[in-house]
């Protein structure tokens, strides 16, 4: 491989939240960080060079955004997914989560309801609560192998409530790792059209799809579904540049694009910082080969975890993700309380993972493992967890 994703990277001077905030988050700094969703992997070399060139200019004033910024994003979308959009439907925002919070408020009224599918990334529920809207959940269904599907009967029942006016879709899904099939997304779109429910699609993981699977942008399925869908995405997860803090949203309706643009202007957060501007373009222009090799590396890490658990810790259950670099580990087979699972992972294994309960009630007893790192970190994490489980069983 051209790129070395197993290189040991010292992040001690990186001001990395993943490493430096463990004491605040978990009560200890003496942990192996496998939690927050960024990578312990260096980004695309051309991204680094573009940022260095910008830094060498030694002036970091307000940034003008050229048309190429949006055009490059649209070209990447067409090349990767065969979905052509007008770059003028795109808008820059500080991040997908800020966009989600703003859009929940602008697309719904306080007496309306917003539907999400749990377990899911915690800011989905938080955005609804922040907007003082009523949260409605459609629980994903897990089979005996840990494979999740949508409960369409329950989904239709929930969407048929006239107070439900917005559905927030996570595609690909964090944390369960599903890459929704086109047929599944077609059903979602048809139901939302039937019951006049708007779709807010978080597709930030769209590029991180493992071999053998294909992501379908839900807005690409039909003009009718596109018209009711606002999609948020970003290269930040894809290329490990989340600290540049920028994202895109695409609006099918010009009046909503203008309203969102106005709101960004009122908060004075319309501009990129100098580094996200050049970093994003460089990633989309030069990052394809790097991404291709990264996906092979992530696939290998995921398979390692699946094999390790099957052979050495069968009490834990997991499913090889179809997308993202996150794995959803089910510890319920240990017959421990949630508090005991947490203690085992933090005090005995000394591995920092995201507690599944934060992703919804049906995440209790689970933990989310980040495998976007060199293989030695994955091996270390699994051996620590195995040792902790053995100690518990004794």
Q: Per residue in 95-129, pLDDT tens?
A: 999 999 999 999 999 999 999 999 999 999 999 99
3-class DSSP assignment, residue 147: coil
Complete DSSP assignment for 160-201: TSTTEEEEEEESS-TTT-----HHHHHHHHHHHHHTT-EEEE
Check if CATH label 3.90.1150.10 holds for domain 17-44+288-393.
yes
User: Over the Cα atoms of the chain, what is R_g?
Assistant: 21
Q: Per residue in 257-291, pLDDT tens?
A: 999 999 999 999 999 999 999 999 999 999 999 99
> Can you tell me the distance from the alpha carbon of 2 to that of 175, in angstroms, rounded to the nearest whole number?
30
Q: Per residue in 312-325, pLDDT tens?
A: 999 999 999 999 99
pTM above 0.75, yes or no: yes
The phi and psi torsions of 370 (rounded to 5 degrees) equal: -95, 120
Q: Rounded to the nearest 5 degrees, what angle is found at the Cα of 91, between the Cα atoms of 88 and 95?
A: 160
Two structure tokens written together for 293: 């090799």
3-class DSSP assignment, residue 16: coil
Range list for CATH 3.40.640.10 in the chain: 59-286
Q: Per residue in 141-175, pLDDT tens?
A: 999 989 999 999 999 999 999 999 999 999 999 99
Residue 1 pLDDT grade (very low, low, confident, very high; cuts 50, 70, 90): confident
Range list for CATH 3.90.1150.10 in the chain: 17-44+288-393
Q: Per residue in 174-200, pLDDT tens?
A: 999 999 999 999 999 999 999 999 999
Q: 326, 119 in Cβ contact below 8 A?
A: no
Beta strand pairing call for 113-118 and 134-139? parallel
Residue 13 pLDDT grade (very low, low, confident, very high; cuts 50, 70, 90): confident
Q: 168, 115 in Cβ contact below 8 A?
A: yes
Beta strand pairing call for 90-93 and 148-149? unpaired
Residue 394 pLDDT grade (very low, low, confident, very high; cuts 50, 70, 90): confident
* CATH number, span 59-286: 3.40.640.10
Question: Which residues, in sequence order, are bridge partners of residue 370?
Answer: 326
Question: Average per-residue pLDDT in the chain?
Answer: 97
> Can you tell me the distance from the alpha carbon of 210 to that of 37, in angstroms, rounded to the nearest whole number?
17
> Can you tell me the distance from the alpha carbon of 278 to that of 49, in angstroms, rounded to the nearest whole number?
10
Q: Looking at the chain, how many residues does it have?
A: 394
SS3 of 309-359: HHHHCCCCECCCCCECCEEEEECHHHCCCHHHHHHHHHHHHCEECEEHHHH
Beta strand pairing call for 198-202 and 229-233? parallel
What is residue 105's DSSP assignment?
H
């Amino acid at each position: 491989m051209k790129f070395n994703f197993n290189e040991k990277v010292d992040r001690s001077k990186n001001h990395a939240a993943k490493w430096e905030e463990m004491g605040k988050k978990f009560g200890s700094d003496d942990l192996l960080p496998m939690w927050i969703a960024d990578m312990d992997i260096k980004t695309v070399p051309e991204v680094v060079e573009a940022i260095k060139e910008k830094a060498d200019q030694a002036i970091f004033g307000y940034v003008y955004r050229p048309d190429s910024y949006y055009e490059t994003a649209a070209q990447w979308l067409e090349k990767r997914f065969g979905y052509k959009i007008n770059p003028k439907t795109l808008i820059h925002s500080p991040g997908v989560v800020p966009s989600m919070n703003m859009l929940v408020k602008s697309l719904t009224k306080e007496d309306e309801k917003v539907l999400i599918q749990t377990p899911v990334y915690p800011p989905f529920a938080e955005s609804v609560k922040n907007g003082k809207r009523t949260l409605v959940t459609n629980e994903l269904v897990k089979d005996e192998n840990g494979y999740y599907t949508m409960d369409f009967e329950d989904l239709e029942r929930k969407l048929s409530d006239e107070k439900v006016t917005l559905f927030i879709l996570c595609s690909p899904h964090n944390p369960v790792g599903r890459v929704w099939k086109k047929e599944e997304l077609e059903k979602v779109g048809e139901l939302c059209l039937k019951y006049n429910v708007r779709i807010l699609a978080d597709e930030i993981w769209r590029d991180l799809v493992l071999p053998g699977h294909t992501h379908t942008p839900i807005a690409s399925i039909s003009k009718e579904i596109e018209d009711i869908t606002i999609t948020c995405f970003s290269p930040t997860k894809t290329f490990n540049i989340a600290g540049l803090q920028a994202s895109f949203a695409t609006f099918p309706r010009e009046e909503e694009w203008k309203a969102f643009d106005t709101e960004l202007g009122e908060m004075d957060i319309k501009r990129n910082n100098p580094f996200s501007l050049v970093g994003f373009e460089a990633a989309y222009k030069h990052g394809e080969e790097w991404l291709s090799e990264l996906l092979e590396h992530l696939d290998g890490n995921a398979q390692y975890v699946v094999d390790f658990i099957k052979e050495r810790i069968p009490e834990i259950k997991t499913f090889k993700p179809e997308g993202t670099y996150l794995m959803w580990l089910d510890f319920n087979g240990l017959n421990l309380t949630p508090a005991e699972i947490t203690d085992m992972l933090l005090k005995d294994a000394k591995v920092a993972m995201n507690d599944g309960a934060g992703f919804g009630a049906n995440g209790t007893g689970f933990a989310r493992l980040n495998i976007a790192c060199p293989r030695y970190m994955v091996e270390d994490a699994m051996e620590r967890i195995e040792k902790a489980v053995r100690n518990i069983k004794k």
